[in-house]
Every structure is written in C-alpha cells, then in structure tokens.
Chains A and B, each alone.
Chain A
C-alpha cells in the first residue's frame, strides 16, 4: 500500500499544510500529478509519511480543510 495523500483546496493551502506538518515532525510532500486528484478538479495533495488521520486533525485544528484522502 502506498502513502496517503491529503487533498487540499489550493496550492496555497497545500504549501501551508506541508510546512505545518513538517514543523510537527511529519514528512510531507506536495503532489499534483497523481491519479485520483484530477477528479477533485485541479486539487493539490500533500503526501504524508505517517498517519493520515493524525495529519488531518493537525490541519483541521489550524483551519485547513482536507477535502479527502486517497491512497497511492
């Protein structure tokens, strides 16, 4: 099973999410050209090296909405 990708609403939110997760010790990478993202309409993803639910909660607490989670 691949690493989870959190889907964000824009590149600004994706960058902010990546920076926030990195600060919390979760390795995160911004993704765009990934199967499954295009169905969200030019969505941006942040691939996390860790628990997607934990990462989602961290982002939610910072006001960053996660539209969904896909597995690569």
Chain B
C-alpha cells in the first residue's frame, strides 16, 4: 500500500517514534504528576520535556501554556467553549473543518452566540478585508483554519492575527494541517489559541493533540476532574495546564508526540515542506495533463498552499475513485473530509473530492506510480 492520506493522519511514523511508543510503558509506566514515587516523577519529567519542545516549536510564551489534548477537535472545543459567552459573535472562514464549525454552530443553535462566515480568496488582502467587514461590536473571536484540509489553500494568519489584535478580538488558529509543515509563532502572529493534532505532520500517534494558549486560566472548562494538584479544592484548578488536563493523561502518546516533534525539528520544517511540495507539484503536473481529471486545487505554490490537492475523475464520484485506487494499492481519501463549508465554496458538496495529501516519507517515484494508476482508471 502506498500511502497518500497524510492529511487524515501521517503514515508511516518515524522509526524513533515507533521505538518511543514501544518503550514508554516500560520506562515511564507510572501516572505522571500523581504519586510521589520516583517512576511517577520520571514520567512527569518526560511529559514536561514534551511540553517544552512543543512550546519551543510554536514559540509559546511559557511551558504551561501547552495543554495536551486527545486531538485537535478537543482543543478547538476547549478553546471555543471556554472563551465564548452569551451574546458573543464569532467569525470563521469558509474553509473550516467541522471541528471548528460544529462547536460554533452548536452554540449558535443553543442561542448563545451568533457567527458569520468570511469568504476567502487567493488574494490575501481580499481575505483580510473579508474578515474585517464582518466585525461587529460584540465580535469576541475569530477562529480559522491555517490551511484547508481539502484543497490546501493557506490563509494569511499573520495578517488576520494583526486584525484581531487591532480590534481586541481573540484569535484561534486551527493548525491541524500545518503544524510541523509551516512555521507557526503564536506570539508573533497574535494567536491566542493554537489548536492542532499531534498525529499528522507532528508525527505523533493518534490520540494526541495540543491547545497552546496564554489565556487558559481565564477560560471556562467543559471537563473537570482529578489533576493531581490542589486536590482539597472542590473547584477545578485555575492554573494551566492542569485546568485542561483532567484525568490521567496519555503519557505514552505524549512521549510519542515529543519524539515526533523532535523528528520534525531535526529534519527541519523547511526541508520537509519543500520536499512535500515537490512531490505534490509533480502529481499536479501529471494530473493536469489528463483529460478526464478535474483538478480543484491550482498548481501548488510555495508559501501559499499545502501539499494537499483535490480532484475527481469525470464520470466517477470521489468514493468510487478512491475505492478503485485502493484496489490498485493506493491509500487516498474521498468524500467531504469533514469540511462541508469548503465543498460548498468549491461546488463539490454533491460529489465530494478525492484527496491526495503528501507526507515526509512520500517519494517522487510513488507520485509517478499514483499518477499512472489514476491514468489507468481514466483510460
């Protein structure tokens, strides 16, 4: 099986990550931050190291700003439901994944908030103007994806962050697709909430995610419980990261995530991104020469897109296409990719799209083989 579904989760994981996941239960098997014995403290120190490296990668203000979550969706939910109050207004983009859209839409249906959807454009200035035009006196949050998980379009988060700061609005970035691929500086970009999965381009295992925020202590919680700290109190601790880490944390997964982040940092984001963009560009070039292929993503461009593209084969729906490719030995994803807004925007809500998403381990040879298989289907 040749894997091109890295936007769902990266595969394979680096060898060091596999070793770390194998060894973690044996070396760090105790409950971190709970008991006072040596193994518990050793596990807590290892988790702290993971926090440190995540803080470094995203330039968090301090280590405590990093809370581990189960995935990006949980991080988005914690941030969105933690910061919004009755009467607030939110702006999201027209490329959002359901992990942002659904919690916001749910709050809207419950009569708690209202929200607007900003159109996005190839021109960054036009996109920022679109967000600006929707700001109201009660706008409390701008929440947007860093890049579309379906079409690979990247949003100008630095400029949107500047707009949010200028207007005194909180800014959430869903970096599920970009963390580990593009540099993200939460302080420089004015990001109040950086939410991401750990299992995509950070190369950790599934079941890991991050919420990085400097305003965590002021947020409402949607899950409370044991934190191993301030246990005499009936109330959830205010302090981060405990405020959002109730219950025993996923030590093994976090150790795997730390190793994945180390892999990314050692290899270099720039190296990974340029490699992936070469592979996706080659795929795009080959597909654009095939008469029966509909490409929805323009030629990938460094700095403004991700190594992700969507296409369909004329006469087939996307699920049929990926099923035939599966039979030919290729792993892709079809359908809506949990992002109905993006499909409404691109006119593909009825058909869905077949998505190719490249990871650090894909090769040019694999790209050629995939394109040959697609060509065979179209013949």
Do A and B share a complex? yes
The contact string, 1 if C-beta is below 8 Å from chain B, for chain A 24-53, is 000000111100000111111000000000
Q: Is the CB of A9 within 8 A of B239?
A: yes
A10-B239, A15-B45, A30-B41 in contact; A41/B230 too (CB < 8 A)?
Answer: yes
A16-B63, A40-B232, A41-B230 in contact; A11/B237 too (CB < 8 A)?
Answer: no
- Of the listed stretches B28-36, B77-85, B180-188, B354-362, name the one at the interface; the rest are far from the partner chain: B28-36
Dominant SS among interface residues on chain B: loop
**B229 in complex: contacting residue of A9, A15, A33, CB < 8 Å:** A9
A32-B41, A33-B36 in contact; A12/B64 too (CB < 8 A)?
Answer: yes
Dominant SS among interface residues on chain A: mixed
Interface size class of chain B, counting residues whose CB lies under 8 Å from the partner chain: 20 to 34
Q: Is the CB of A42 within 8 A of B230?
A: yes
B242 at the interface (CB under 8 A from A): yes
Least CB separation from B32: chain A residue: A11
Least CB separation from B37: chain A residue: A33
Question: Smallest CB–CB gap between B235 and chain A, Å?
Answer: 11
Complex CA gap A41/B239 in Å reads 14
B69 at the interface (CB under 8 A from A): no
A63 at the interface (CB under 8 A from B): yes
B140 at the interface (CB under 8 A from A): no
Complex CA gap A36/B44 in Å reads 22
Question: Smallest CB–CB gap between A63 and chain B, Å?
Answer: 7
Q: Is the CB of A10 within 8 A of B232?
A: no
Complex CA gap A46/B237 in Å reads 20
Q: Is the CB of A13 within 8 A of B239?
A: yes
Q: Is the CB of A11 within 8 A of B62?
A: no
Question: Smallest CB–CB gap between A13 and chain B, Å?
Answer: 7
Question: Smallest CB–CB gap between A58 and chain B, Å?
Answer: 15
B177 at the interface (CB under 8 A from A): no
Enumerate chain A residues within 8 angstroms of B242, measured Cβ to Cβ: 9-10, 12
Complex CA gap A45/B214 in Å reads 24
B222 at the interface (CB under 8 A from A): no
A32-B35, A32-B41 in contact; A11/B64 too (CB < 8 A)?
Answer: no
B58 at the interface (CB under 8 A from A): no
Enumerate chain B residues within 8 angstroms of A40, measured Cβ to Cβ: 230, 232
Residue picked from A9, A31, A63, most chain B C-beta under 10 Å: A9
Q: Is the CB of B33 within 8 A of A12?
A: yes
**B233 in complex: contacting residue of A11, A13, A41, CB < 8 Å:** A41
B48 at the interface (CB under 8 A from A): yes
**B33 in complex: contacting residue of A11, A39, A63, CB < 8 Å:** A11
Enumerate chain A residues within 8 angstroms of B45, measured Cβ to Cβ: 15
Q: Is the CB of A42 within 8 A of B231?
A: yes
Complex CA gap A41/B34 in Å reads 11
A30-B41, A42-B231 in contact; A13/B64 too (CB < 8 A)?
Answer: yes
Residue picked from B37, B40, B51, B239, most chain A C-beta under 10 Å: B239
Complex CA gap A40/B229 in Å reads 9
**B36 in complex: contacting residue of A9, A12, A32, A41, CB < 8 Å:** A32
Q: Is the CB of B63 within 8 A of A12?
A: yes
Least CB separation from A41: chain B residue: B232
B227 at the interface (CB under 8 A from A): yes
Enumerate chain B residues within 8 angstroms of A15, measured Cβ to Cβ: 44-45, 48
Residue picked from A13, A32, A39, most chain B C-beta under 10 Å: A32
Question: Smallest CB–CB gap between B40 and chain A, Å?
Answer: 8
**A10 in complex: contacting residue of B35, B40, B228, CB < 8 Å:** B228
Least CB separation from B242: chain A residue: A10
Complex CA gap A9/B33 in Å reads 11
Seen from chain B, the residues whose Cβ lies within 8 Å of a Cβ on chain A are 32-37, 40-41, 44-45, 48, 51, 62-64, 227-233, 237, 239, 241-242
What 4 A-B pairs have minimum CB-CB distances, sorted nearest first?
A: A32-B36, A41-B232, A33-B36, A11-B33
